[in-house]
Structure 1
Amino acid sequence: MNIALRRISLLLSVALILAAAVLAILAGQRYSARFDWTADQRHGLSTASQRVIEALDGPITFVAYMYPGTERQRLRERLGRYVNADARIRLEFRDPARHPRRVRELNIGPDGAVVVRVDDRTAKIDQYDEASVTQALQRVSPGGSPWIVFVAGHGERGLDDTATAGYADFAAALDAQGLRTRNVNLAAAHAVPDNTGVLVIASPQQRYLPGEIDMIRRYVDNGGTLLWLDDPGPRYGLTPLADDLGISFLAGTVVYPDYQTLGTTSPAISAIAQYPNTPITRSLNQVTLFPFAGALAGDSDSGWQADVILRSATRSWLETGSLEGNSITYQPDAGDRLGPLTLGYALNRQRDADDSASATRAQRAGVVADSDFLDNGHLALLGNRRLGLAIVQWLAGRDRQIAIDVPEAPDARLVLAPGRLADLRAVFVVALPIGLLLIGGLRWGLRRRRR
Structure 2
Amino acid sequence: MKYQRALTVVLIVAIAALLVFVSNRYSWDADWTHANRNSLTDASKRVLDAMPEPIEFTAFEYPGPEREGIRTRIDRYRRYRDNVALTFVDPTANPQKMRELGVRRAGEVRVSYEGRSRTLDDLSEQTVTNALQQLSAAGEQWVVFLTGHGERTPADEEQGGYSALAKELDSQGLKTRTLNLAETPRIPDNTAVLVIASPQRGLLPGEVEMVREYVAGGGNLLWADDPGKRYGLSPLAGDLGLRWRDGTVIYPDYRELGLKHPAIALVIGYPEHPITKRLDSLSLFPFAGGLAAAENGDSAGGGWQAKPLVRTPSRSWLETGTLDAEQVTYDEDSEDAVGPVTIGMAATRERPAGDEANGTDTGKPSQQRAVVMADSDFLANGYINTAGNLDLGLSIFQWLANRDEQIAVRVPPAPDSSLQLAPWQGRAIWYLFVVILPLALLAVGVGRWWLRRRR
CA contact (8 A) 1:394 1:402 kept: yes
1:76-115 matched pairs, under 5 angstroms: 76-96=71-91, 99-115=94-110
Tell me if the contact between 1:352 and 1:359 (Cα under 8 Å) persists in the aligned partners. Answer: no
Within a 5 Å distance, the mapping from 1:5-404 to structure 2 comes to 26=20, 30=24, 33-96=28-91, 99-142=94-137, 145-299=140-294, 300-301=298-299, 302-303=301-302, 304-350=304-350, 351-352=352-353, 354=355, 355-356=360-361, 361-404=366-409
Deviation of 1:439 (Å): 1.8
- In structure 2, C-alpha distance between the alignment counterparts of 1:24 and 1:326, rounded to whole Å: 77
Among residues 416, 421, 426, which one is paired with 2:431 in the alignment? 426
In the superposition, the TM-score normalised over structure 2's length comes to 0.85
* SS state at 1:188 partner: coil
Closer/same/farther in 2, CA of residues 99 and 361 from structure 1, 3 Å limit: farther
- One-letter code of the match for 2:399? W
The answer to whether 1:413 aligns with 2:418 is yes
The farther-off stretch of 291-300 and 385-394 is: 291-300
Distance 1:33 1:333, change over 3 A: same
**Whole-angstrom distance in 1 between the partners of 2:200 and 2:35:** 41
Q: Distance in 1 between matches of 2:54 and 2:313?
A: 46
> How many residues align structurally?
438
Aligned in 2, Cα 1:102/1:317: closer, same or farther, shift over 3 Å? same
Q: Using the alignment, how far apart are the partners of 1:144 and 1:419 within structure 2?
A: 52
Unaligned runs of 5+ in 2: none
Q: 1:326 to 1:357 in 2, by over 3 A?
A: closer
CA shift for structure 1 position 39: 3.8
Bigger drift between 439-448 and 28-37 goes to 28-37
SS of equivalent to 1:140 = helix
- Larger displacement relative to structure 2 (275-284 or 193-202): 193-202
- C-alpha separation in 2, matches of 1:151 and 1:219: 12
Which deviates more from structure 2 when the two are superposed, residues 127-136 or residues 331-340? 331-340
How well do the aligned residues superpose, as a CA RMSD in angstroms? 3.2
Q: Evaluate the alpha carbon distance shift between residue 356 and residue 196 of structure 1 in structure 2; reply closer, same or farther with a 3 A threshold.
A: closer
Mapped contact 1:154–1:207 kept (Cα < 8 A) = yes
Give the corresponding residue for 1:439.
444
Partner of 1:8: none
Q: Distance in 1 between matches of 2:343 and 2:130?
A: 30
Closer, same or farther: CA 295–357 of 1 in aligned 2, 3 Å: closer
Q: Secondary structure at the match of 2:192?
A: strand
TM-aligned CA distance change 1:374 to 1:22, over 3 Å: same
Contact (CA 8 Å) 1:148, 1:198: kept in 2 or not? yes
- How far is the alpha carbon of 1:278 from its aligned partner? 1.3
Structure 1 Cα separation of the partners of residues 428 and 255 of structure 2 = 37
Pair 370,24 (structure 1): closer, same or farther in 2 beyond 3 Å: farther
Determine the C-alpha separation between the residues in 1 that align with 2:150 and 2:34.
41
**CA 1:261 to 1:426, structure 2 compared with 1: closer, same or farther past 3 Å?**
closer
Secondary structure of the structure 2 residue equivalent to 1:293: coil
2: CA distance, partners of 1:160 / 1:436: 57
1:387-407 superposed Cα distances (whole Å, 9 cap, x missing partner): 111101100111011011101
| Matching residue's letter, 2:231 | Y
Specify the SS of the correspondent of 1:364: strand
* Identity rate, percent: 48
Deviations 1:239-272 (A, max 9, x none): 2322332322212112233444544343322222
Distance 2:32 2:149 in 1: 50
Report the alpha carbon displacement of residue 144 of structure 1 after superposing the two structures with TM.
5.6
User: Counterpart of 2:343 in 1: which secondary structure?
Assistant: strand
The one-letter code of the counterpart of 1:128 is L
1:131 deviates by 0.8
Alignment partners' CA distance in 2, 1:33 and 1:20: 22
Deviations 1:338-378 (A, max 9, x none): 22222111122222264448898222111100112222332
TM-score by length of 1: 0.86
The change in CA–CA distance for 1:432 and 1:168 in structure 2 (over 3 A counts) is farther
8 Å CA contact retained: 1:374, 1:385: yes
CA distance in 1, matches of 2:440, 2:235: 77
- Secondary structure of 2:182's match? helix
Rounded to whole Å, the distance in 2 between the matches of 1:86 and 1:360 is 28
Say if 1:425 and 1:25 are closer, same or farther in 2 by CA, change over 3 A.
farther
